[in-house]
Structure 1
């Protein structure tokens, strides 16, 4: 991963998923935004960025691009991401929500073959507090520190960061992996990244109803993660048999445990893995201080 202020960053598309305010916020934070790509708008300037028709034109002028932030319409995401992969961009952040599942299947097959890291879709991106902002996360909730955050939610990610900041616990990195039906990088990948990250001393995992990613994460934590992990699962009072729209549960499979995807299933898996679970976001700092020596 290349997440430094020197990393060259591209934006593909300027639609409803990103605004001039978000672009200005990234620039103010020190993110090295070099250009935008918007087919048919080449030669123009938008939000203070030179705009090109093709990613390859950006590469020709600025050299290797480390990260692209994709903000095109949902049915254009696959083409935009494949264009980025063809230009050897190693990190793709998809802000767009509602990407067709079959498009994501095709994209992830290509990304895996090319060793490209995909975050999202339906993700506000990544922030390394004090260094770089990639996406639409509100930087004012963050402060540099040693706690890594990995989340499926968007707004819950910010709330957890705010609770940590209020308690004097800074963050090393915060990522929302996205909450569409099919997303790129998983809890497992980011747990491994944070476990190996030298600046991270503890990890906060934020989950919500739908799917089985939290259960898989709980097993992985028990088997492979050495650093302390604190979890928070939203939606404990969600009605059984219901799923939040943004979690993108595709279908109920015949023969599946009726408890599958519920908050209760996730809480049980985390309990079995002996992962402390906060009852509310404001309790996370207290649990962290019990697990590690943070002043």
Structure 2
């Protein structure tokens, strides 16, 4: 059992006919994900990767039964693609597009209010349920089915941690990249809440970094709910300079509350185990679960 994805997930690829859409949609299909069609305005009625292309999301959902979409649309029009999916009541939307303008994402967040859509991203590597469904652009090969849920703000660190968790013999229930931008949809707290309610997830790994307050929100939630599942966190950026963007739009510290030390302190107060280094995350979650390797 995974969160967000299952064997019945039917994927629509928005922007599938472009280079990125073609490449990554083909990779998802090769992995075993059920991709049922693509969306590209003006190209409806054609086919690509032996799948039908539609002019709009609503028509594609009606024809294919799609219940998830992934957005490969360029930054200037990515928000419009997300909003179209939200208005069509697509249950799950993953937006991998980077550098979506901040004001555009404000409009997307407004469209999400009261909607039936869960939006992961923008600037997300996606969601992966090993052996079940890949909805994203992440590398695969080291993932294994298992019982550790991973929620992350960093794509590269996610790959490292997945490999460590697999090497520890634990595997993953689901891996979720919430998105590296300052404004995005599905939050770390939202993800942690789903993992805590998932019987197949026995422990969680949280990969945080400087900027924003999402890690503190998770800490507050864990302290409030007194979660019984072990949670391990890695927070990077301890030596990052202030007021300088580090890697992507969300990794930017202005005040003390957004730095690594404040995040670590908040998580520790909530009972979260802090991995002392990036290369020790797998060992730390194994110890938390009473497993050794």
Instruction: Please confirm whether the aligned pair reaches a TM-score higher than 0.5, indicating the same fold.
Output: yes
Q: Is the 8 A contact 1:210 1:261 kept in 2?
A: yes
Work out the CA distance in 1 between the residues paired with 2:50 and 2:41.
17
Work out the CA distance in 1 between the residues paired with 2:72 and 2:201.
29
Given candidates 267, 272, 276, the residue that maps to 1:279 is 276
Unaligned 5+ runs, structure 2: none
Q: Is the 8 A contact 1:90 1:117 kept in 2?
A: yes
Work out the CA distance in 2 between the residues paired with 1:159 and 1:291.
19
In the TM superposition, residue 17 of structure 1 has moved relative to its aligned partner by: 7.9
Distance 1:130 1:112, change over 3 A: same
In the TM superposition, residue 245 of structure 1 has moved relative to its aligned partner by: 4.2
Work out the CA distance in 2 between the residues paired with 1:251 and 1:161.
27
Work out the CA distance in 1 between the residues paired with 2:58 and 2:85.
8
Distance 1:105 1:29, change over 3 A: same
Q: Is the 8 A contact 1:210 1:244 kept in 2?
A: no
Q: Is the 8 A contact 1:42 1:51 kept in 2?
A: yes
Distance 1:233 1:94, change over 3 A: same
Work out the CA distance in 2 between the residues paired with 1:233 and 1:247.
17
Work out the CA distance in 2 between the residues paired with 1:35 and 1:19.
12
Q: Is the 8 A contact 1:15 1:71 kept in 2?
A: no
Give TM-score, length-normalised by structure 1: 0.91
RMSD, matched Cα: 2.0
| Number of residue pairs the alignment of both structures matches | 289
Match of residue 67 from structure 1 = 68
211-220 or 145-154: which moved more? 211-220
Unaligned 5+ runs, structure 1: 253-257
Alignment of 1:154-193 (within 5 A): 154-193=155-194
Work out the CA distance in 2 between the residues paired with 1:196 and 1:68.
24
Give TM-score, length-normalised by structure 2: 0.91
Q: Is the 8 A contact 1:205 1:230 kept in 2?
A: yes
In the TM superposition, residue 129 of structure 1 has moved relative to its aligned partner by: 0.7
Match of residue 51 from structure 1 = 53
